[in-house]
Structure 1
Amino acid sequence: MSMDAERDTKSRFAAQWHYRPDVPIPTSPVFSWPPHPRAIAVWFAARWFVFGENLVIAVLALVTWHYFQPPLERMVTFEIGWIAQMLLRNFILLVAVAGSLHFFLHVRKTQQQRLKFDPRDLISRGRLFSFNSQLKDNMFWTLTSGLAFWTAFEVLMLWAMANGYAPVLGWADNPVWFAGLLLLTPLWISFHFYWIHRLLHWPPLYKLAHALHHRNTNIGPWSGLSMHPVEHLLFFSSVLIHWIVAAHPIHILFHMQHQALTAVTSHAGFEALLVRDRQVIGLGNFHHQMHHRYFECNYGNLEVPWDKAFGSFHDGTEESHKLFLARRRKMMGLQNSS
């Protein structure tokens, strides 16, 4: 590549983004070798001992279990009453989180373009989307299939626990492991997400299901759970590990709320929520925003760096973008020759 072409690549990559955080984007040190205990401790502390998504959702799961969840003994048999109660609760959570973020960030634009990755507005009209609208399309798939699968997996797991089919862990059984399981849940979700996401990029499954989610090249809060039912089935299936790994119902609620609500926040289109010019909570990340723009990079999350291991990691730098473009040209060449 000539020097002029290299400069052009840099300028075009930079011009596609209104805001880019500090790069290169770091990944979790948990799986680095040799191990770095101090870095791992700092990484966990930054995600659990400050006001952020993990802590908020852990508290939410605890409050849900004590005040908004039918008792386990009631779940021995499937009944419309308690299932409808859980469905309504999850509906309220989705509307509260996705609706408020969309309203303040994309309708009222209370922080204008500050910390907004993509300079473009969401698409107000487009034949690509159901109902000719990105917002209506995203809300429809989120509040029908997304809400149904989220609730169905919660119902299944709690019914299984109530009947003794899935092992139950009590706080008194092992307090250290009880707390540790909360800390490890986001890592397992990340581990699982990479593999089902790579599967969904297999051309037959992409065409059948994942293309619906990728209608959103520019994303908003309602985009996160805007998926085909096949994708929702795979996406939420990570919780099935608790048919083997003993857990408390609080862990199930935390697991499912984490998957559903961080899907919303991670697609907010902004790095953080600002209140009086101060960042109060982190939202989206540039890592996944690039996946929606470029498709064939950053299939996983930063917690478990599978993308680094398999060469699909884009760290947000111009150098990384050049490597990505070369890799994509090679992929397209292989597809065209097959």
Structure 2
Amino acid sequence: MWYAIFISAIAMTGIIALRYFASSGAFALATNFRKPGYHSNLGPQIRREILWSLASAAVYGIPAGIVAWGWQERGWTQIYTQWDAMPLWYLIAAPLIYLVLHDTWFYWTHRLMHRPKLFRTMHAVHHASRPPTAWAAMSFHPWEALTGAIVVPALVFLVPIHIASLGLVLLVMTVMGVTNHMGWEMFPRRLVHSRLGGWLITASHHQRHHEEYRCNYGLYFRFWDRLCGTDRGLSERI
């Protein structure tokens, strides 16, 4: 049993690392095309971002591997595969529930990590990326990575979700994690400055967090920032 769990954890670590290289690499290439010279003189920083991100892949991969084994071999989780196991509308509702709960967890843990002692211990690694790049999406100290690694594994024990809907959640997590650190806005200005855009976090919003530190703590939505008075709007630099 322990050998199978170990293999599952190694496999998930490899999958997460490959996903990181594919997504961050693709958007880094897009950045080179969209903003030539953005990565100039950032070689040492990008190498550090990649090394920290590979460490994070292991931190994420171990609990993911354990949960994947438990789902397949013991039926531990609330993940289901039959399309008619839940109402069809729930296929859309479940990802939203996951994203809202993840966003809530991220906002409060992220804000907590900006307290001086925790910042030095856990979060300074991520903010060492100046300016942030697509490679910084998973550039975390292992203690910070752990706060993110436990969210989805915990939720699959509590909130039923179809395997395809779970895949959508992971896709959104990956894309937003990368695009929010690219240093430029990939979404149309019309969307970013629309009423809907006023509640969504994109690169323009998260970039300001990296500029001022004490604001814009959210991950997907601006709800908690607005409610708690920590939303300072969009960066004027991108």
Give the TM-score band, short-chain normalised.
Answer: 0.7 to 0.9
Name 2:58's counterpart in structure 1.
Answer: 148
Q: Which runs of 5+ in 2 are unaligned?
A: 189-200
Name 2:70's counterpart in structure 1.
Answer: 160
Task: Name the amino acid aligned to 2:83.
Answer: W
- Report whether the alignment pairs 1:205 with 2:121: no
Residue deviations 1:105-140 (CA, integer Å, cap 9, x gap)? 2xxx32236xxxxxx944736xxxxxx811111011
Q: Which runs of 5+ in 1 are unaligned?
A: 1-73, 114-119, 126-131, 275-282, 319-338
Which of 192, 196, 208 aligns to 1:290? It is 208
Name 2:195's counterpart in structure 1.
Answer: none
Q: CA 1:160/1:202 → structure 2, altered by over 3 Å: closer, same or farther?
A: farther
Task: Name the amino acid aligned to 1:89.
Answer: I
- Report whether the alignment pairs 1:313 with 2:231: yes
Name 2:35's counterpart in structure 1.
Answer: 112
- Report whether the alignment pairs 1:136 with 2:47: yes
Task: Name the amino acid aligned to 2:85.
Answer: D
- Partner Cα separation in structure 2 for residue 226 and residue 123 of structure 1: 19
Name 2:183's counterpart in structure 1.
Answer: 269
- Once the two structures are superposed, the pairs formed by residues 1-338 of structure 1 within 5 Å of their partners are 77-80=4-7, 82-105=8-31, 109-112=32-35, 121-122=38-39, 124=41, 133-143=44-54, 145-162=55-72, 163-169=74-80, 170-174=82-86, 175-239=88-152, 240-272=154-186, 284-301=202-219, 303-316=221-234
8 Å Cα contact 2:204/2:235 also seen in 1: no
SS in 2 for 1:272: coil
Task: Name the amino acid aligned to 1:204.
Answer: K
Name the structure with the higher helix share.
Answer: 2
8 Å Cα contact 2:205/2:235 also seen in 1: no
Residue deviations 1:43-75 (CA, integer Å, cap 9, x gap)? xxxxxxxxxxxxxxxxxxxxxxxxxxxxxxx99
Residue deviations 1:247-268 (CA, integer Å, cap 9, x gap)? 2333444434433442122211
SS in 2 for 1:291: helix
- Partner Cα separation in structure 2 for residue 247 and residue 76 of structure 1: 28
Deviation of the 1:181 alpha carbon: 0.7
8 Å Cα contact 2:98/2:169 also seen in 1: yes
8 Å Cα contact 2:176/2:220 also seen in 1: no
Deviation of the 1:84 alpha carbon: 3.8
8 Å Cα contact 1:200/1:209 also seen in 2: yes
How many positions carry a matched residue from both structures?
Answer: 220
- Partner Cα separation in structure 2 for residue 160 and residue 200 of structure 1: 31
Residue deviations 1:203-235 (CA, integer Å, cap 9, x gap)? 221110101101123111011111100111102
Deviation of the 1:83 alpha carbon: 4.1
- Partner Cα separation in structure 2 for residue 181 and residue 193 of structure 1: 18
Q: CA 1:141/1:305 → structure 2, altered by over 3 Å: closer, same or farther?
A: same
- Partner Cα separation in structure 2 for residue 137 and residue 317 of structure 1: 25
Identical-residue share of aligned pairs (%): 24
8 Å Cα contact 1:158/1:249 also seen in 2: no
Say what the alpha-carbon RMSD is for the aligned residues: 3.0
The TM-score with structure 1 as length reference comes to 0.57
Q: Which moved more, 1:291-300 or 1:192-201?
A: 192-201
